[in-house]
Amino acid sequence: MKKWIRRSFRNRIFLTVLLVTLLPLLFCNVLMMQMQVVRSEISLAQEARAQLTALDGALDELCLSFEEMADELCESTAVRSVLRQKSADSRVLYQLLFRVTDELREYARFDICDREGLCLYTTDATVPTGTLYTDWGILCAASGSVDLVFRSGEGDVALTAARAVRSHDSAVLGYVVVSMSPENFDYLFQDLYSTTSDIILMDPFWRPVYHSQPAQTENAAESLRQQLLAGEPLTGAGGDYYYYTSPHQETGMSLILQQPMTFTSTVMHTIYAVSLLMGLLCLLLCLWCAWLLSRHLFRPIRQLDEAMGEVRKGNFDVHLDTGREDELGRLADSFNHMADEYQANLSRSVARQRELNETQLRMMQAQLNPHFLYNTLDTMKWLGVTNHVPQIAELASDLAIILRAGISGDEIITVEQELELIDRYLAIQSIRFEDRFTCEIDIPEEFQSCLIPKMVLQPLVENAIIHGVADKNDGYIKLWAEEKEGDLFLSVSDNGCGIPPEQLADLNQRSKKKPADQGSHLGLFNVNSIIRLHFGEPYGLSVRSQPGEGCCATLRLPIQRRRDENA
């Protein structure tokens, strides 16, 4: 996964979009559901508490009435007297019994038993029958207490209560017994709780006394008792109910309200299933949107990446057309521009190299048979010496030196070496022109060691002599050097006839463009070309002239010295 995320920018966009759309949705979903559950629980609990209070109140009130009734009967002389006589047909007692139980007979059956537990009087519609154990169960408990005692009943009786009728010396004469059936409880609790809830009454040991749904009694009560004993929360048998308990002080029993959960496990499962389904739908939607968005963002970047790859391979013809106006569109435009520029630059560079190669070819052609020429010059020199014509010997010697410098392998020489060649050349020319001109060389010492391409000054001097002062008797040529803007400027001026403006413009033009006429000023063109090829565009030759006032050719060169000399 991590690898997948790191592999592509697109995957990261995709995942981010997915997370930021899906997470808040899930979060809200869970939060809302939780809030619903909590709200429902709180409202159900409030409702249950209110119902329990009402039920508890009803049971309290009934117990109080029972006690008042028992008080009246137990304190009655008629009751005592009848129980002493064990008589079962006292009208007075029946009238008393029915009078004191007048309001209560809908809630319970009332019996009066003798001290052996034999039922003598009853408010039941049937003839009084049956005997209760006096040393077991409710009567045993009643004989040990002076109050009304409560116990869970047996058989059809849900709850029994009994109080011993005692003589003045506290001997037990008989018992007043109250029996409540499940129907009595139904009547007592009716309308006090919602129809969806159920009531369970548990004895002090959490055995069921009454359940509003008798069929569920055993199952529900047993599981509640087990949960209580195990110290677990009360969830009943199915776990789909809330149980609210309220201990009843009077009877020692516990009232339990069984309330069905709104969000039962089944409902929760359904909700979870629906939420999951919705989540899945959202996930699919998010996947689709994230896919589209990441593709929209990623496509130009992928195109750019591929184009870069092509450029790396050397294909500069790639052209991106994103059709967009945003940042990615501008980025693509910039790339196109960069690729175009790079290609143009490369073409220029190739053209320059081709020119250099041509120049070098020409120079090599010029170097053809140099030894033959040199030997010939040597022969001429010795002929001059032999025939006593020293000028010939001198001419041949100087020419040989110039020729040797021309064909030597060093492309770059010092100004001093170049001046040496100029001297030789001037010596030759002074023989030819019989000192009709003078040449002044004014190169300060500091520039003597500067490096320049060889044979770049000689053509200028030659030009000044041939085209400037050749026809004059007081020709004057000056060669000087100066430093301007960090560059070296070497100038050759003459006081010759000058150059007409149109020719001058042509010359300055020519110096950049190869002349059509190979013979005319070819030297100047070559000088200019050599300097530019060596040092670049700003450097080269410029010519200034006023007709009749001579001309001045200036070379602009970078100041370079040998390393050891610099040091």
Which 111-140 positions form the footprint of another protein (CB under 8 A)?
Answer: 133-137, 140
Q: How far is CA 81 from the centre of its chain?
A: 96
Q: Where are the alpha helices (DSSP H) in 449-495?
A: 458-463
Residue 486: CB minimum distance to another protein, A: 33
Q: Residue 44 is encoded by which pair of tokens? A: 């159900």
- Overall residue count recorded for the chain in this entry: 567
| Residue 167 engages another protein in binding (rule: CB under 8 A) | no
Residue 229: CB minimum distance to another protein, A: 6
Residue 233: CB minimum distance to another protein, A: 4
Among 75, 154, 186, 321, binds another protein (CB under 8 A): 154
Binding residues for another protein, rule CB under 8 A, total 48
Instruction: Using the rule CB under 8 A, give the single segment among 74-82, 201-209, 287-295, 327-335 that binds another protein.
Output: 201-209
- Could you write out the DSSP letters of every residue in 63-116? HHHHHHHHHHHHT-HHHHHHHHHT-S--HHHHHHHHHHTTTTTTT-EEEEEETT
Instruction: Using the rule CB under 8 A, give the single segment among 150-158, 358-366, 370-378, 485-493 that binds another protein.
Output: 150-158
Half-sphere exposure of 41 (CA within 13 A, CB side): 12
| Residue 520 engages another protein in binding (rule: CB under 8 A) | no
| Residue 14 engages another protein in binding (rule: CB under 8 A) | no
Task: Give 115 or 467: the residue with its C-beta nearer to another protein.
Answer: 115
Task: Give 29 or 542: the residue with its C-beta nearer to another protein.
Answer: 29
Beta bridge partners of 260: 241
Task: Give 132 or 422: the residue with its C-beta nearer to another protein.
Answer: 132
C-beta of residue 117 within 8 angstroms of C-beta of residue 138: no
Q: Which residues, including other chains, have CB under 8 Å from residue 298's CB and lie 6 or more apart?
A: 8, 9, 10, 13
State the Cα–Cα distance between residues 477 and 464, nearest whole angstrom.
7
> Which residue has 């629980």 as its token pair?
41
Instruction: Using the rule CB under 8 A, give the single segment among 40-48, 174-182, 380-388, 531-539 that binds another protein.
Output: 40-48
Among 4, 5, 34, 266, binds another protein (CB under 8 A): 34
Task: Give 36 or 367: the residue with its C-beta nearer to another protein.
Answer: 36
| Residue 41 engages another protein in binding (rule: CB under 8 A) | yes
Instruction: Using the rule CB under 8 A, give the single segment among 199-207, 338-346, 439-447, 511-519 that binds another protein.
Output: 199-207
Among 37, 304, 311, 441, binds another protein (CB under 8 A): 37
Going across the sheet that includes 487-494, the strands are 437-442, 475-484, 487-494, 551-558, 540-545
| Residue 504 engages another protein in binding (rule: CB under 8 A) | no
Between the alpha carbon of residue 177 and those of residues 149, 160, 443, 463, the distances in Å are 10, 7, 149, 154
| Residue 382 engages another protein in binding (rule: CB under 8 A) | no
C-beta of residue 441 within 8 angstroms of C-beta of residue 401: no
245: helix, strand or coil: strand
Q: Residue 431 is encoded by which pair of tokens? A: 């023989």
Residue 560: CB minimum distance to another protein, A: 36
Q: Kindly state the helix (H) or strand (E) to which residue 483 belongs, with its residue range.
A: strand 475-484
Between the alpha carbon of residue 151 and those of residues 142, 158, 177, the distances in Å are 10, 9, 11
Residue 223: CB minimum distance to another protein, A: 12
Instruction: Using the rule CB under 8 A, give the single segment among 22-30, 293-301, 304-312, 359-367 that binds another protein.
Output: 22-30
Burial 9-37 (b: 16+ CB within 10 A, else e): ebbebbeebbeebbeebeeeeeeeeeeeb
Task: Give 90 or 258: the residue with its C-beta nearer to another protein.
Answer: 258
Q: Kindly state the helix (H) or strand (E) to which residue 151 belongs, with its residue range.
A: strand 149-152
Residue 33: CB minimum distance to another protein, A: 5
| Residue 57 engages another protein in binding (rule: CB under 8 A) | no
Among 141, 192, 283, 401, binds another protein (CB under 8 A): 141
| Residue 18 engages another protein in binding (rule: CB under 8 A) | no
Which 225-284 positions form the footprint of another protein (CB under 8 A)?
Answer: 225-226, 228-235, 239, 242-245, 247, 254, 261, 263, 265, 268, 272
Instruction: Give me the residues that bind another protein (CB under 8 A), please.
Output: 19, 23, 26-27, 30-31, 33-34, 37-38, 41, 44-45, 133-137, 140-141, 151-152, 154, 205-207, 225-226, 228-235, 239, 242-245, 247, 254, 261, 263, 265, 268, 272
